[in-house]
Amino acid sequence: MIPVSLTIKGLYSYQKEQTIDFSKLLEGQLFGIFGAVGSGKSSILEAISYALYGDTERLNRTDNRSYNMMNLRSNELLIDFTFVNYDTFTYRFVVRGKRNSKNHEKVGTLERTSYKQVNGLWEPLDGANGEQVIGLSYDNFRRTIIIPQGKFQEFLQLGDKDRTVMLREIFQLEKYEFFYQAASLEKRNNEHIQRLTGELANYNTVTLEEIEASKERLNVLSNAVKDTKANLDNKVLLLQAMEKLKLSYQEYQSYGLQVQELHDRKNYFEELKASIARFNFCMLHFRADLLQHAKLKQDRGQLDQDLSLLIKSLDDINKKLIINQEKYDLLKRDFDQLDNWKLKIGDYDRSIAVRKLDTDLLELQQRIAKGQAILDDKEGEKLKLSEQVEQLAAEIKKRNQELPDYGLLSQLRQWYLTNRHLKNTLLLDEQDYEKAKQKVQENTKLLDEISFESVLINNEIKSGVSLKLIRDLLENVALEEQNASAKLTHYQLQLKLGEFSSHLHLGNACPLCGSLEHPQILQAEDVQLEFESIQKDIEALKIKKKTLDGLLLKVSSLELSLEKSREIEEKALQKQKNSLAALQEHQKSFVWGGFKPDDEAKLDELEQNAKKEKEYITALENSLEQKRASAKEVEGVLLKYKTALDKLQLDYREKSGQVSLLKQQIQEQHLSVLSQFSLEELQAEKLLLEQRIADVQQNHDQLKLEIEAFNNQIISLKERINALEERRRTLEKEYLHLEQAFEVKLKESGFGTLEEVRVILNQNLNIPALEKELQDYQLKLYNAEQNYQRLSKELENQAFDENQFVQLKTEVAELQSAFQKQHEEQIREQVFLKNQEAGLQKKTALLNELGSLQLRGQNIDQLKNLFRSSGFVNYISSFYLNQLCAAANERFYKLSKQQLKLELSDKNDFLIRDYLNDGKLRSVKTLSGGQTFQASLSLALALAESVQKQNKSEQNFFFLDEGFGSLDKEALQTAFETLKSLRKENRIVGVISHVEDLQQEIDVFLQVKNDSAEGSLIKGNWE
């Protein structure tokens, strides 16, 4: 990640908008951000972290973060961070927030958005997750890229588990987590084995012996089926011949009975044939004419009925027409007066308007008089307020001129405050000095008391105890204890040898060498008393050593405490002198005449009087503002009333003109009459006349329409009556012609009357069905006679034996049953053999597959054991950690002047190889503050380098916040040289610090200053 720009506004101490363009800073590859404590340096890193991750080092989500992050003087917050990622794309993360305008302590949730630059345009991303873009969690981001205050040593001091988790995330080691894949493979493999085992259980009875036995049984069954089938075929052929003969005899008998039955029904079908002929003749020659005859008779009756109704309707309409014509003639006289009545309506409207305008004019006269009176009152009030405003303004001006010089008072007040602060500081410094002086006296007294203690040395009493004396005594005691221990060992050997020699006798085996002969037996001395004496001496020496150790610790502690107390005393004395000098210097700066350095009460009295006078002037100014507001309000009212009065007068003139014009438009014959009516009477008369006009117009139009409708109906009815009379004459002619035709057809057909014909036709015979029935009878009779004659000839020399037929049929049935059973048994055996052979083949394949799976299961189990408890990931993590340690040592060894190196323990904890102490190992916790910084810096650089390689980025960047304050000048110079050397490695490093020496070493840096009025301000040293 390479930063491009950062804009901050309303965050922590940043009140005004500040923008950092990193292009100038990145040119030198090593830049700084400097400022005093509390200037807002670390807030820059906080802004970047919150923009990317929504999290900060200072505040968590329970700290009312939105409110506490926003500057108390700001109403909105903005963070706009742009950077180039390792994927070469440019990204932008923005944070915005606003303060509630009604509640200062209420700040809404800060809104975070993110964008990606594509073809020069910012395209929004889903959410604002820096981890997805950069590939680092927040914790690892602040360990590798932005390292905040107090977190620089975190990676060095992390435990094995946390460090492994960190490396796993940074280097994406989860891809080496194969345990679950192995477990999943094992599960699937076991499931497959279980399934195969279950399948094999179905083939337990499948064997080669069973297959051979089945083949033998199948051969026997095949021969038996073949023999039975041949015998059955012969019997079936004989049975088929007898069945055919039996069927012929049965048909012969059946046809004989059928011929007899058909001859019995011959008379019925001859009568049926005659009825069909009569019905068909009547249908052909009479039916159509009879239907037409009935239709003409029906139509003639209907015409007579319709004609009677039309004549009656015509008579009714003529009567209604006469009545309406009489009404129309009476209404026409009023209809001719409509135009005059409408003119009168217009005069009514104008008279009503004149009445209304007269009322309005009277009301306007009253409103004009009332408005003029109010206008006069407001003019007087305006004049009075103007005089009061002038008087108040003059008095305020006079009193402001009499006020004291507030700048002078402010300078005096600041001098007195500083003087009081310096006096208090001097008093506190004097108290601190007295306390430090007393502490030195106490420690000196305690040390003097110990110095006069007596110590026994080689049976001599010595006084004046010192650290050198105690160390000498301890060396002597250690030497004496060493000599005593050697003597004790010698006496122990003598005692043991004496014990062995006392048990040696001729003929008895030696317990050491096993020899039976003992030519020169040792004569050991009796040293038991000396042995016990030496033991007591050693115990006494141990007690003496313990006493001396306690005394050494006590004296060392007191001397160290005395040394620190004297340092504190010197610093307190110097601080007291500085405070006294500052106070004296300040008192020399008092230059105000009329005042005394020790008379602050006079200033208090003057300020109090000025305050009261200022409050009185403020009250006068408020009163002046109120008077001016009242005057402005009166002016507004005056303008409002003048405008309203002018409008009323204009309305009065306009309405007077309207009255004159309306009176001129009223007809003279109506003017005198209408003037006698009131407004309500005029409106009532107008309504009555309007209603009369409407009624006359409506009745006239309605009667006119009805008369026209009646005339049209009369014409239509007359035309329909004429048409019906013509139609009736035509029907009558057709009816007479049809009667004549019937007489001719009856004579020719032989029927007596038309009634006979109607009876035949009314039979409603189904002729097609009857003809088909007759045809079927004739066909059946013919076929039965032919078949009877044919079968009689065929059976002339043949005989059928029923008993022989039944016996043969029984034999065939028994053979078929036997054959069926044999064939079914043969099929079952064939199926069994086929299944056994297929089962044997399947069983062999399953056994082969099961063997392969069992072997694979053993291999998977070995893999799972290797990957258990993230073992492989931990191994890879250790490999990465060793690489980091080696890379870090390249710098750490140099920074520590070839004295220290980092190493890893079996538990992957960092240890220190100390070459000043024979290369022995010790804990990293024993490092000094400067050494810890050197080790942490080396690890941070190595980790950043690994992240760069991991992301395949051309450049690597990280921020370092503080950490240099713990280094001495030499170590600081070495660390700085290390940072500068990173330029050759294409690295970019940003250093945040308040250490002044660094500013002299870094060419390009930002200076952050916290201004009391404008908040934190950022300025480059090149600006």
State both tokens at 200. 């094999």
The angle at the Cα of 180, spanning 177 to 183, to the nearest 5 degrees, equals 135
Residue 960, classed as helix, strand or coil, is strand
Report pLDDT for 1018.
93
* Distance, CA of 55 to CA of 79 (rounded, Å): 13
State both tokens at 660. 């004159």
**Nearest one of 111, 69, 107 to 93, comparing CA atoms:** 111
The angle at the Cα of 611, spanning 608 to 614, to the nearest 5 degrees, equals 155
Report pLDDT for 92.
95
pLDDT per residue as tens digits for the range 369-381 = 888 888 888 888 8
* Distance, CA of 351 to CA of 404 (rounded, Å): 81
pLDDT class of 461 with cuts at 50, 70, 90: very low
Residue 10, pLDDT > 90, answer yes
Looking at residues 342-346, what average pLDDT do you find?
76
Instruction: Look up residue 107 and give its DSSP letter.
Output: B
Residue 289, pLDDT > 70, answer yes
Instruction: Look up residue 509 and give its DSSP letter.
Output: P
595, 412 contact by CB (below 8 A): yes
Percent of the chain whose predicted confidence (pLDDT) is above 90: 7
Report pLDDT for 454.
47
Residue 815, pLDDT > 80, answer yes
Report pLDDT for 673.
64
Query: Which single residue is written with the structure tokens 């030519």?
Result: 519
The more confidently predicted of residues 954 and 383 is 383
pLDDT per residue as tens digits for the range 662-701 = 777 776 666 666 667 777 877 787 788 788 888 888 888 8
Query: Which single residue is written with the structure tokens 């340092």?
Result: 567
E strands, 682-752, are none
Looking at residues 287-295, what average pLDDT do you find?
78
- Which range is least confidently modeled, 500-509, 518-527, 972-981? 518-527
* Distance, CA of 241 to CA of 17 (rounded, Å): 122
The more confidently predicted of residues 455 and 421 is 421
For 6, the enclosing helix (H) or strand (E) is: strand 2-9
Return the bridge partners of 911, or none. Answer: 903, 923
pLDDT per residue as tens digits for the range 79-91 = 999 999 888 899 9
Residue 456, pLDDT > 60, answer no
pLDDT class of 11 with cuts at 50, 70, 90: very high
Report pLDDT for 118.
92
C-alpha distances in Å from residue 480, one per residue of 477, 484, 527, 781? 5, 6, 20, 161
State both tokens at 851. 């063997």
Report pLDDT for 472.
79
**Domain 2-154+953-1020, architecture per CATH:** 3-Layer(aba) Sandwich (3.40)
Q: 308: number of CA atoms within 13 Å, CB side?
A: 6
The phi and psi torsions of 607 (rounded to 5 degrees) equal -65, -40
pLDDT per residue as tens digits for the range 259-275 = 888 888 878 877 778 77
**Nearest one of 647, 451, 454, 430 to 558, comparing CA atoms:** 451
1001, 1023 contact by CB (below 8 A): no
CA gyration radius, the chain: 68
Report pLDDT for 674.
66
**Nearest one of 567, 14, 671, 17 to 351, comparing CA atoms:** 671
Looking at residues 227-247, what average pLDDT do you find?
83
114, 93 contact by CB (below 8 A): yes
Return the bridge partners of 960, or none. Answer: 147, 991
Report pLDDT for 991.
86
* Distance, CA of 833 to CA of 212 (rounded, Å): 9
Query: 190-194, 485-489, 667-671, 896-900 — which one is most confidently predicted on average?
Result: 190-194
b/e string for 327-362 if b means 16 or more Cβ within 10 A?
ebeebeebeeeeeeeeebeebbebbbebbebeeeee
The phi and psi torsions of 16 (rounded to 5 degrees) equal -90, 160
* Distance, CA of 904 to CA of 880 (rounded, Å): 12
* Distance, CA of 224 to CA of 217 (rounded, Å): 11
Report pLDDT for 5.
94
606 CB contacts (<8 Å, ≥6 apart)?
404, 409
Report pLDDT for 459.
47
Number of C-beta neighbours around residue 896 at 10 A:
24
* Distance, CA of 181 to CA of 881 (rounded, Å): 25
Return the bridge partners of 289, or none. Answer: none
Report pLDDT for 180.
74
25, 31 contact by CB (below 8 A): yes
Burial class (CB in 10 A: 0-12, 13-18, 19+), 694: exposed
Looking at residues 555-573, what average pLDDT do you find?
82
Report pLDDT for 17.
94
480, 487 contact by CB (below 8 A): no
pLDDT per residue as tens digits for the range 174-209 = 667 777 787 888 888 888 988 888 887 888 787 888
Residue 651, pLDDT > 80, answer yes
pLDDT per residue as tens digits for the range 139-183 = 777 767 776 555 556 667 777 677 677 666 666 666 677 777 878
pLDDT class of 21 with cuts at 50, 70, 90: very high
pLDDT per residue as tens digits for the range 96-122 = 999 988 888 898 889 999 999 999 899
565, 436 contact by CB (below 8 A): yes
Query: Which single residue is written with the structure tokens 């051979």?
Result: 212
Q: Report, in this order, helix, strand and coil percent for the chain, each rounded to 5.
A: 70, 10, 20
Instruction: Look up residue 174 and give its DSSP letter.
Output: G
Residue 80, classed as helix, strand or coil, is strand
933 CB contacts (<8 Å, ≥6 apart)?
152, 153, 963, 964, 966, 967, 971, 975
Residue 453, pLDDT > 70, answer no
70, 171 contact by CB (below 8 A): no
Instruction: Look up residue 127 and give its DSSP letter.
Output: S
Instruction: List the alpha helices (DSSP H) in 452-527.
Output: 467-502
Q: Model's pTM, two decimal places?
A: 0.38
Residue 628, pLDDT > 70, answer yes
pLDDT per residue as tens digits for the range 963-990 = 566 666 766 776 677 777 666 666 788 8
Report pLDDT for 707.
84
114, 94 contact by CB (below 8 A): yes
* Distance, CA of 610 to CA of 613 (rounded, Å): 5
Number of helices (H) and strands (E) in the chain: give both, helices first.
25, 17
**Nearest one of 80, 94, 99, 65 to 18, comparing CA atoms:** 80
* Distance, CA of 452 to CA of 463 (rounded, Å): 6
Burial class (CB in 10 A: 0-12, 13-18, 19+), 175: exposed
* Distance, CA of 372 to CA of 364 (rounded, Å): 12
Domain residue spans in the chain?
2-154+953-1020, 288-401+665-743, 421-505+521-589
57, 46 contact by CB (below 8 A): yes
The angle at the Cα of 393, spanning 392 to 399, to the nearest 5 degrees, equals 90
Report pLDDT for 1016.
93
